């Protein structure tokens, strides 16, 4: 399950949000993508998941402006830029958006079951719910609670749990730590590590560079729509210019 992004350029009107971006995540890796606000990280994840194309269709001819996107996204060698968002998700390449987006008026259990709609085998779905509950015991405690009333951290866990229900093989996780207290953050990062331990490949976008670099085997640094550095955590931290200018450490 590898992901190879090549030469992805994205323009909103004439603003270049992604400028010939390339990166690769190999089978079984946990790779981080870090960079300042507005660098283009979320835009890249959305493009990979087929959501930018979808936007392109609904904004056509409206005042929202023109979107132009070029480049190539290979998932296990298959071109994703030709596919629609649901087809990409069906292949196991799944986005966990920032702050999660559960169906608010559904309970935790119903949200997890909705994630399993793609899963035809009910036995597998039941086993996966058990697995999600053992990874995130707090979700089990909240099983009948409406998702709209979950805390930020719980919502993020539910979002990851829901992707596991849809048999994710590769997770694109967008800033899971946003708004979380340090202790909860630490716990969540441990859970993400456990999800990775299950054999799921992960591209983790994160603003908390220290946490991201602790978890990831390799990292990419993005600034103003460009990948400006790549390396192991120690390689990047040893580079004073990168550390001070882009990592804020």
Ligand X SMILES: Nc1ncnc2c1ncn2[C@@H]1O[C@H](COP(=O)(O)OP(=O)(O)OP(=O)(O)O)[C@@H](O)[C@H]1O
Cβ 156 vs Cβ 188: under 8 Å: yes
Judged by CB under 6 A, the residue of 3, 5, 32, 43 near ligand X is 43
Kindly provide the residue ranges of all beta strands, DSSP E only, lying in 97-143, ordered along the sequence.
none
Residue 150 CB coordination number (10 Å): 21
Q: Does 17 bind ligand X (CB under 6 A)?
A: yes
Least separation in angstroms between CB 178 and ligand X: 8
* Binding partner of 95, given ligand X, Mg ion, none, CB within 5-8 angstroms per partner class: none
Taking the chain, what is the end-to-end CA distance rounded to the nearest angstrom? 33
User: Coil, strand or helix: which one is 234?
Assistant: helix
Residues 171-210 that bind ligand X (CB under 6 A): 207
Q: Does 32 bind ligand X (CB under 6 A)?
A: no
Contact positions vs Mg ion (CB under 5 A):
42
Q: How far apart are CA 197 and CA 193, in angstroms?
A: 6
Judged by CB under 6 A, the residue of 1, 5, 8, 12 near ligand X is 12
Q: Is 231 left (phi over 0), alpha (psi -120 to 50) or beta?
A: left
Least separation in angstroms between CB 117 and ligand X: 28
Judged by CB under 6 A, the residue of 6, 26, 27, 38 near ligand X is 38
Q: Does 63 bind ligand X (CB under 6 A)?
A: no
Least separation in angstroms between CB 42 and Mg ion: 3
Judged by CB under 6 A, the residue of 5, 8, 21, 41 near ligand X is 41
Interaxial angle between packed helices 122-135 and 152-165, expressed in degrees from 0 to 180 and rounded to the nearest 10: 150
Cβ 25 vs Cβ 75: under 8 Å: no
Q: Does 40 bind ligand X (CB under 6 A)?
A: yes
Tell me which residues touch ligand X (CB under 6 A).
Answer: 12, 17, 35, 37-43, 207
């Amino acid at each position: 399950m590898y992901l190879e992004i090549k030469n992805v350029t994205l323009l909103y009107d004439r603003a270049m949000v992604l400028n010939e971006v390339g990166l690769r995540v190999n089978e079984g890796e946990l790779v981080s993508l870090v960079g300042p606000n507005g660098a283009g990280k979320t835009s890249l994840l959305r493009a990979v998941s087929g959501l930018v194309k979808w936007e392109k269709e609904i904004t056509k001819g409206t005042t929202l402006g023109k979107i132009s996107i070029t480049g190539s996204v290979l998932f296990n060698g298959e071109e994703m830029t030709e596919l629609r968002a649901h087809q990409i998700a069906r292949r196991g390449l799944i986005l966990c958006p920032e702050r999660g987006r559960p169906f608010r008026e559904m309970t935790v259990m119903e949200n997890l079951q909705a994630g399993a709609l793609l899963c035809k085998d009910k036995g597998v779905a039941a086993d996966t719910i058990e697995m999600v509950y053992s990874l995130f015991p707090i979700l089990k405690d909240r099983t009948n609670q409406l998702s709209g009333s979950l805390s930020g951290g719980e919502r993020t866990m539910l979002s990851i749990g829901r992707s596991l229900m849809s048999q994710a093989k590769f997770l694109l996780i967008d800033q899971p730590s946003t708004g979380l207290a340090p202790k909860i953050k630490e716990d969540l990062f441990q859970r993400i590590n456990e999800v990775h331990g299950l054999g799921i490949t992960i591209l983790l976008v994160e603003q908390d560079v220290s946490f991201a670099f602790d978890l990831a085997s390799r990292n990419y640094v993005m600034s103003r729509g460009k990948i400006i550095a790549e390396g192991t955590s120690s390689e990047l931290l040893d580079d004073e210019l990168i550390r001070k200018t882009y990592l804020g450490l």
